[in-house]
Structure 1
Amino acid sequence: MHKSSGARFWIVVLSTLAVIAAAVYLSLTNGTFDMSVLEVVKTLLRLNPVPEHDLVVFEFRLPRIVLGGLIGIALGVAGSVIQGITRNGLADPGILGINAGAGMAVVLFMLLFQGQLNTTGWLAVMTMPMFGLVGGLAATATIYLFARSQGRLDPQRLILVGIAVASGFGAITMYVSLKMNPSDFEMAVVWLAGSIYSANWKFVVTMLPWLIVLVPVIWLRSHILDLFQLDDASVSSLGVAVEREKNILLLGSIGLVSASVAVSGSIGFVGLIAPHIARRLVGIQHKRLIPVSGLTGAAMVVTADFIGKTVFAPAQLAVGIVISIIGVPYFVYLLIRSKS
């Protein structure tokens, strides 16, 4: 049984990687400037480099693909952690308001430094995730304040409080963005839709430390997430410091979400859908669920970005909007299924 489940895990991983590879291939070769596979390979391997090909691949398409993959991994992992902690399959960074809190803080950052700081410069790119983390923590603290019942997090109240928190932070974000000058306001609106139009290697470098540090920390606590499927009293009786472990896991997931929001805006539903798909493919054991959720999230974001920039060409649809078109019906389906 153990061998068969292990084989299934690797089949799922390889299949998901194949989907990502197909999306990467399509994204690299298709667009306003079409390229053949041979031209892409020659450009990547630096064989007879052509300046136009270098510009298209290394400055526009590749950083966008890599950033999309990293964002998908971060949101997929964060979603599986939040669902594991809350024991609620409908929990998600976007629905709980963590995205909205982080987004509000980043828009506030844009307002405070408008005209003084280049938002694509190194200082801004490295600082924005910190603002996002503060906003995500503010959202989480608000949720904990109102969703706890008798010292415990009530899964039923969690969704309602999360929706209210998301709406509240969304209203603050809109108010703050209206205080911006017209050009900054336009940039903020596009960014809030969940866009990776302006992806560059600085954003990729910004994301990497958060993933390199936080994903292993979370994965090494995967057995704790398995225990959290029991009630808190049972977990405590096994010698687990419940609140401390919850805080570490929650902070890790908020950090991943905040880093993602800082470079792409609010991309919703990835943290909801990716863990559900992963759970159906590899089961509920978090040692396997977490990596598969991350890979599924990466496949979702890279594929959605390809759809957004090609299907609606010459216009481009933000990746957040494309995923929401799929995510809203899926969320309604989950609500109906949970009631039945």
Structure 2
Amino acid sequence: MDSSMGRRFWTVAIACLSVIAIALYLSLTNGTFDMSVLDVVRTLLRLNPTSEHDLVVFEFRLPRIVLGALIGFSLGVAGAVIQGVTRNGLADPGILGINAGAGMAVVLFMFLFQGQLNTTGWLAVMTMPMYGLVGGLMATSIIYMFARHRGRLDPQRLILVGIAVASGFGAVTMYVSLKMNPNDFEMAAVWMAGSIYSANWKFVITMLPWLIVLVPIVWIRAHILDLFQLDDSSVGSLGVATERERNILLLCCIGLVSASVAVSGSIGFVGLIAPHLARRLVGMQHRRIIPISGLTGTAMVVIGDFIGKTIFAPAQLAVGIVISIIGVPYFVYLLIRSKR
């Protein structure tokens, strides 16, 4: 049985990587300035490169694709962790208000330093995720405070409190953004829609340390997430420090979400859909769910961004909006199914 699931895992992983490779090919070769595969290969391998091709590939398309892939992987992993910790299939960084808390903190950062700091400069790019982390921690603290019932985390309260917290932080974010000058407001509005339109290599470098540090911590604790599917007393009886492990996992999740929100704004539903698809494809073991959820999230964001930049060309639709168009009906479907 285990060998069969192992083969299934590798089959699904290869299929996900193939989909990502196709999306990579389409994103690199298609756009306002079309390029052939040969042009892209020559540019990447530095064979008779031209300044036009270098500009299109290395400055516009490649950083956008790589950033989208990192964001999708982070949100997919974070969604799998949250659903595992809370034992709630409807849990998601966006629905629980973590996105909104991190987003509010980043908008406050933009507001406090408007006109004083270049938001695409190194200092701002490295500092914004830390602001996002504080906002995510604030949202999580409030959720924990009100979602507990008789000392335990109530899955139903968790969703209700998360929606309320997300609405509250969203209102604060909108109020602060309206206080900005017109140029900063326009930038904040595009960012809040969940866009990677202004992606560059600085954003990619900012994301990498968070993934390199936090994803292995989550991976090592995959078996703990399996145990969390039992009730807390059973987990404690197995010698697991329940609260400590839950806090470590949630901190990793908040860090991944905050880093993503800092560079792209709020991209919802990736953390909801990707773990669901992963569980259907590879079973219930989190050692398999986590990487497949990350790859599924990567495919969702890269494909969503490609659709957003081509379907309404020359205008561009934010990837967050594209994924929400798919995510809202899927969330309604899950709600209806959970009532059966």
Question: How far 1:197 sits from its partner (Å)?
Answer: 0.3
Give the counterpart letter for 2:177 in structure 1: S
TM superposition shift of 1:238: 0.3
**Root-mean-square deviation (CA), in Å?**
0.3
Q: Do residues 13 (structure 1) and 13 (structure 2) align?
A: yes
> 2: CA distance between counterparts of 1:136 and 1:298?
22
Amino acid across the alignment from 1:335: L
CA distance in 2, matches of 1:87, 1:59: 42
Report deviation, 1:257: 0.1
Provide the residue aligned with 2:255 in structure 1: 255
Which structure 2 residues correspond to residues 296-335 of structure 1 after superposition, within 5 A?
Answer: 296-335=296-335
Equivalent residue of 1:56, what SS?
A: helix
**1:82 aligned residue:** 82
Summarize the alignment of residues 186-205 of structure 1 with structure 2, pairs less than 5 Å apart. 186-205=186-205
**Aligned-partner Cα distance in 1 for 2:94–2:35:** 36
Residues 196-232 of structure 1 deviation map (CA, whole Å, 9 limit, x = unaligned)? 0000000000000000000000000000000000000
Say which SS state the counterpart of residue 291 (structure 1) adopts: helix
Which letter maps to 1:241? A
Q: What do the CA deviations read for 1:104-131 (whole angstroms, capped 9, x no partner)?
A: 0000000000000000000000000000
Q: Secondary structure at the match of 1:49?
A: coil
Task: Supply the distance in 1 between the matched residues of 2:321 and 2:51 (Cα, whole angstroms).
Answer: 33
**Cα offset for 1:330?**
0.2
Taking structure 1 as the reference length, what is the TM-score of the superposition? 1.00
- Following the alignment from structure 1 to structure 2, what is the Cα–Cα distance between the partners of residues 3 and 330? 32
Deviation at 1:3, TM superposition (A): 0.9
Amino acid at match of 1:326: I
Aligned 1:1-340 pairs, distance under 5 A: 1-340=1-340
CA distance in 1, matches of 2:198, 2:313: 17
Shift of 1:4: 0.8
**Aligned residue type for 1:2:** D
Structure 1 runs (4+) deviating above 6 angstroms are none
Please tell me the residue identity of whatever aligns with 1:245.
E
* In structure 1, C-alpha distance between the alignment counterparts of 2:189 and 2:40, rounded to whole Å: 33
> What fraction of aligned residue pairs are identical, expressed as a percent?
84
In structure 2, how many angstroms separate the alpha carbons of the residues matched to 1:266 and 1:321? Answer: 10
Task: Measure, in 2, the Cα distance between the counterparts of 1:42 and 1:138.
Answer: 48
Cα deviation, residue 279, structure 1: 0.5
The 3-state SS of whatever aligns with 2:115 is coil
> C-alpha distance in 2, partners of 1:42/1:314?
26
Helix, strand or coil: the match of 1:196?
A: coil
**Distance of 2:302 and 2:144 partners within structure 1:** 33
Q: Which deviations, in whole Å up to 9, do the C-alpha atoms of 1:66-120 show, x marking residues without a partner?
A: 0000000000000000000000000000000000000000000000000000000
- Structure 2 distance, partners of 1:221, 1:308, is 36
Instruction: Report the AA paired with residue 146 of structure 2.
Output: F
Q: What are structure 1's unaligned runs of at least 5 residues?
A: none
TM-score (norm 2): 1.00
Distance 1:116 1:13 in 2: 45
1:8 is displaced (CA, Å) by: 0.4
Could you list the runs of 5+ residues in structure 2 that have no partner in the other structure?
Answer: none
- Give the AA of the match of 1:131: Y
Q: CA deviation at 1:314?
A: 1.2
Give how far 1:312 is off: 1.0
Shift of 1:178: 1.0
3-state secondary structure, aligned to 1:239: coil
